[in-house]
Amino acid sequence: MTAVIEAHGLGKRYRGRWALEECTLSIPAGRVVGLVGPNGAGKSTLLNLACGQLTPTTGSIRVLGHQPGTGPGQLARVGFVAQDTPVYAGLSVADHLRFGARMNPAWDHEAAHRRIERLGLDPQQKAGRLSGGQRAQLALALAAAKQPELLLLDEPVAALDPLARRSFLHGLTEFAAEREGRTIVLSSHVIADLERVCDYLLLISGARVRLAGPCEDLIAEHYRIVGPRRAASALPPHLSVVQEDHTDHQSAFLVRTTEPLPEGNWQAERPDLEDLVLAYLDRDRQTHNSHDLEGLR
Amino acid sequence: MIWVTWRQFRTQAIAGAIALAAAAIYLLVLGLNIHNDYDRSLAGCIATGCAPGLVSGFADKYSTVVMLTDLALMTVPGLLGAFWGAPLISGELAAGTHRLAWHQSVTRSRWLTVKLLTIGLGAVTLTGLLDLPMSWGASQYDTVKAARFSALVFGARGIVPLSYAAFAFTLGTATGVLLRRPVAAMGLTLALFAAVQFTVPTALRPNYLPARTADIRLDATTLSHADGIIQNGSSLVIDGISLPDAWVISAGHALGSAGQPPSAEKINTCLMPGQFDGTITCLARQDLHVTATYQPNTRYWPFQLIEAALYTAMTAALAGFCFFWIRRRTT
């Protein structure tokens, strides 16, 4: 499978602080990628590097085989919906569609108008008077009608109410389904937003990539096991412990293994995507805290 | 891309066009007045020599209005820089819409090129459309006044206003790119443009070509055109000395025929407070002269070209800065 986004040792430094560090990843084509992580983890930075808005401090990133943002051809193949979905407040919805048509050779006039019509947006309305949800939909309509092979969206649903959120994500899956091989990467700090639409997970925390892979594979490789209290070292060695939790009598672990889970005196279940994300974020926070404590000693 | 530029710029363009129309009508009316007046009073006698009062009366009648109009015209490029140039990119950066515009199938460089060229040409054209009726309307006044090199007139005629417009517009764009805030960029543009417009005529323009030197005899005609006579002991300075067909840049102290300073005694007897004519007649008899540096009037067009080239070079440098900053530094 060909990689849509390929990064090696990618890093971006902002005002003396690393917003993204040592990022090596390869995202296959045809996926809907959920880019998840806490606020300030580096999600926006990664997306901005992928669309060419930012240039890397270290390492390299190639998108669809080329350096991002170089030349009109590359720009045409990558759609980007920036955070807060910026639109021209003084221009009408119809003006935005004309704007898109003039700025993009592959513009799909039909699709853009169909989308606007179905959303019930008045073409004469100024974009500055649209609600947050409508504005996000307009931004999506612009990015989709450009017919990119890769569509990047930075926190597109963060400011939307649940109904608008659902409608927006529906529009997104439609875009993905229209043509084979289209890839979408959308970021959110709330995994629940993405669980319904994405089939590939990219978890970023503390400026680093913590977890990446197809959702079904990730779920298949992880188990939540609960049994009598024991130390993590007492578990079979090929189980790598992501998270552990102990009470007086019981121990609960989230473990990762590529082999089948051996029988044991425990109960095992599959975690869902949200459990996984939370477990990895939790581990991350604990290692950070222990670092901090060492620093204090 | 041109449509996009036009659509975003439409309101400012219409405002500019309305202001241009109003100003052009005013300039045409002023020009017609000057022409009619000239035809009635001076046209018949200017070749053979008019009565002295007639020529100076004509010049005095229009000097204030022409000066104020020239002053207003000199501000046009600055206003274009502030209202067309400064918000051009900073408006997008402040609203975040550059994150929309730069992810269409058009590179940042082309996006900026089209914006700079179309609106920049608009700014130059607008300035030119004000410059033309003024140059026509005031042509006879300018001939009579023979002061094409004076700071206001030089900057409001010929080709230099076009280069001012291009420079001010690009200056506005560049400060906008740098500051990312339209209002701050507008203020800085006006301040910088004013500073440049003050510095160039005073510090640079006199030196575009090496000035010539001449001894000007202080005869009755020269003295009667002077603005003032200042004496301090044996040092006599003539203020506002003029030379026909030339721009006098500086003039030294009055000297005697052998190059020696005149005696304080002789000067003192000549200075008769309140009797300007008597003073002039007396001083003219002393056979004094001053050494002055000047630029001949034949250098008017070379100077226009040199100054236009200077502003064009600054325009190009600022545009280059905009491209560099947009491509490399702006996120």
B30-44 tens-digit pLDDT? 999 999 998 888 887
Average pLDDT estimate for B259-271? 78
B-contacting residues in A 19-48 (Cβ below 8 Å): 48
Residues in B closer than 8 angstroms to A84, CB to CB, are 96
Angle between helices B160-179 and B182-199 (to 10 degrees): 140
Percent of the residues in chain B that have a pLDDT greater than 70, as a whole number: 99
Residues of chain A found within 8 Å of residue B107, distances taken between Cβ atoms: 71-72, 75
Q: Tell me whether B8 touches chain A (CB under 8 Å).
A: yes
Q: Which residues of A touch B103 (CB under 8 A)?
A: 51, 53, 75, 78-80, 82, 143
What is the overall mean pLDDT for chain B? 89
What average pLDDT does range B65-83 have in this prediction?
Answer: 94
In angstroms, how far apart are the furthest CA atoms of chain A?
A: 68
DSSP state of A233: G
Interface contact B14, partner A, CB < 8 A = no
Distance CA A178, CA A258 (A): 34
A3-206 classified as CATH 3.50.50.60:
no
Interface pTM, i.e. ipTM: 0.87
Q: Which residues in A lie closer than 8 A to residue B3 (C-beta atoms)?
A: 98, 102
State the pLDDT confidence band at B331, using cuts at 50, 70 and 90: low
Give the count of Cβ contacts less than 8 A between chain A and B. Answer: 72
Q: Note the pLDDT of residue A293.
A: 45
Q: CB-based contacts of B228: which residues, under 8 Å, 6+ apart?
A: B238, B239, B240
Q: The whole model's pTM is what? A: 0.89
Q: Are A183 and A151 in contact (CB under 8 A)?
A: yes
Residues of chain A with pLDDT under 50: 292-297
Sequence ranges of the domains in chain B: 2-207, 212-297
Mean pLDDT of B149-156: 86
For CATH 3.40.50.300, the residue range(s) in chain A are 3-206
Instruction: State the smallest CA–CA distance between residue B116 and chain A in angstroms.
Output: 17
Which helix (H) or strand (E) covers residue B294, if one does? strand B289-296
Q: Which of A54, A98, A103 sits opposite B331 (nearest CB)?
A: A54
Chain A contact probe: residue of B6, B8, B105, B329 with most A CBs at under 10 A: B105
Question: Closest to B7 (Cβ–Cβ): which among A73, A91, A143?
Answer: A91
A84 touches B: beta carbon within 8 Å: yes
Residue of A nearest to B99 (CA): A82
Classify residue B289 by its DSSP letter: E
- Copy the structure tokens of residue A240: 């790598």
Tell me the per-residue pLDDT of B166-201, one tens digit each, with 9 for 90 and over: 999 999 999 999 999 999 999 999 999 999 999 999
E strands, chain A, in order: 3-14, 17-28, 32-36, 58-63, 78-81, 150-153, 183-188, 200-205, 208-214, 222-228, 240-246, 250-256, 267-269
Residue B13, pLDDT > 90, answer: yes
Question: What's the burial of A28, exposed, middle or buried (CB within 10 Å: 0-12/13-18/19+)?
Answer: middle
Min Cα separation B63/chain A (Å): 45
Q: Tell me the pLDDT band of B307, cut-offs 50, 70 and 90.
A: very high
Contact B99 A80 (CB under 8 A): yes
CB neighbour list of residue A26: distance below 8 Å, 6 or more residues apart: A3, A5, A6, A7
CB B103 within 8 A of CB B61: no
Q: Which residues of A touch B8 (CB under 8 A)?
A: 88, 90-91
